[in-house]
A and B are shown apart, each in its own frame.
Chain A
């Protein structure tokens, strides 16, 4: 595998389910990001991990919980989501914060 990979590519979940999105980067980067991309809205940065420091967007609901066990792996844990959380969730990595980002293909999430 090369670049940034994300699994699953598609996910349908009910509002009471718990699921996790996984991201892995094979680039030796030090920073990883989660974005939410909804139709007709700007790309929304949710979380950033860099050298074990986490930066988060304060507007992200607590039903989204990130985890970064090491510099190559990033998870987004989901629980009791709402239909408005349906979107494309993109993971990205960069050598350091501020550098160009490399994106994965995304996970298309549908909450029913």
Chain B
């Protein structure tokens, strides 16, 4: 079985500042990793994914994440945030063998202040 821990439930930041949203996972097998964003009154939207290959993954809206196997982490970063980035962010993991059932973290609320 796998699990996901998003270490911060809320991250406040000022506009144009850098941000990092942390995600750690636990799994006994290889994994696929995802970050999703949810804006108010909407469903989740894929930001980026790691399946294999380069550990630095670039996504939409200027976000990127780095897969660190030794630390079992997949932290999300953006060098300069905008007010419009205010949303809920979810990290998700799927074991790359077996049932392929996804597990989501509890989410991190990113609040960008002007």
Name B's A-contacting residues (CB within 8 A): 32, 34, 36, 41-46, 49, 90, 94-96, 99-102, 104-107
Contact = CB atoms under 8 A, between A and B. Distances in A.
Nearest to B9: A40
A42 B101 contact: no
Given A42-B105, A43-B90, A103 B45 contact: yes
B46 A98 contact: no
A36 B100 CA distance: 19
Contacts of A55: 99, 101
Q: Could you tell me the dominant secondary structure of chain A's interface residues?
A: loop
Question: Which 6 pairs across A and B sit closest by C-beta, in order of nearness?
Answer: A103-B43, A98-B100, A97-B100, A43-B104, A103-B44, A98-B94
Nearest to A31: B100
A98 B96 contact: yes
17 contacts: A42-B105, A45-B101, A96-B100, A98-B32, A98-B96, A100-B49, A101-B36, A101-B44, A103-B36, A103-B43, A103-B44, A103-B45, A104-B43, A105-B41, A105-B42, A105-B43, A106-B42
A31 B96 CA distance: 16
A106 B38 CA distance: 11
A48 interface: yes
Contacts of A106: 42-43
A90 interface: yes
Interface in A5-63: 41-43, 45, 48, 55
